[in-house]
Amino acid sequence: MAFANSRPAPLADAPGFDPYASFRVDSPREVAALLRELNDSGTPIQLSTPEGTVLLTVLWSVDSSGERVSFRAEPEDPQLRALIDGDEATAVAYLEAVKLQFDLCDLMLVRGHRACALQARMPQRIYRFQRRQGYRVRPTERHAPMATLRHPSMPDMQLELRVLDVSFGGCALMLPDNVPMLEPGVTLHGVHVELDAGLHFICSLLLHHITSIRPGSGAGVRLGCEFHRLDPDAGRALQRWIDQTQKRRRLLSLS
């Protein structure tokens, strides 16, 4: 079995510099939580070496106190010996739309009466990479992200619409019932999106679909929009914001 985009990201080893720092999880508690999620879900994990050895497996156990992790191992698998001889590997797995990557070292084969396991030292850090058009995150309650724009058919009308959720590819806005309706397919130019005090940018939005939030309640409609020609710097900042928001939600769920 294989899964898309399973090649490890080329993480830099330059002293004092990590270009992927915004995607790094190095809290022992959160690292353990991610590993347990992989364990509980039986998610396929690809282990690979720089020499090209590839082994598909699953995580069997997470021993936080002993700082060891164990993976399923088939002793007759020819890739297993090459993996152990290399003594280190890179693991890649997917949880929904998030790609997880972490390094493993001190690999060894542990034989039991009925089964074998590939053990390694527990990773100190995990990198989480959001798929570009993937999972949408909802802003935290303490923030009220807004999008400011002109109504496309009534330029004198300025709208301030609440941002309901965000992904790298687009966002959803709430249009109140008392505002003239927009038409799917229209491009909204000069939209000022402010997700929090540290992240705001101007972009164009392509309106794809309109759905009622709660039919008959007068709560308004949801505008499903795609970011159009997003500036590369804004795109990188947005990716970091999405990742940090997900990390905060995960930590809150552990508290």
Q: What confidence tens digit (pLDDT) does each residue in 225-245 have?
A: 999 888 888 888 888 888 777
> Domain 21-130's class?
mainly beta
Full 3-state SS string of the chain:
CCCCCCCCCCCCCCCCCCCCHHHEECCHHHHHHHHHHHHHHCCCEEEECCCCCEEEECEEEEECCCCEEEEEECCCCHHHHHHHHHCEEEEEEEECCEEEEEEEECCEEEECCCCEEEEEECCCCEEEEECCCCCCECCCCCCCCEEEEEECCEEEEEEEEEEEEECCCEEEEEECCCCCCCCCCCEEEEEEEEEECCEEEEEEEEEEEEEECCCCCCCCEEEEEEEECCCHHHHHHHHHHHHHHHHHHHHHHHC
User: Can you give the pLDDT at residue 35?
Assistant: 95
Identity of the highest mean pLDDT range in 10-14, 64-68, 215-219:
64-68
- Mean of the pLDDT values across residues 167-193? 90
- Mean of the pLDDT values across residues 65-80? 90
Residues of the chain with CATH 2.30.110.10: 21-130
pLDDT (tens digit per residue) in 129-170: 765 445 566 665 566 789 999 999 998 999 999 998 888 888
User: Can you give the pLDDT at residue 114?
Assistant: 75
CATH 1.10.1130.10 is right for the domain spanning 146-254: no
User: Can you give the pLDDT at residue 113?
Assistant: 73
pTM above 0.85, yes or no: no
Residues of the chain with CATH 2.40.10.220: 146-254
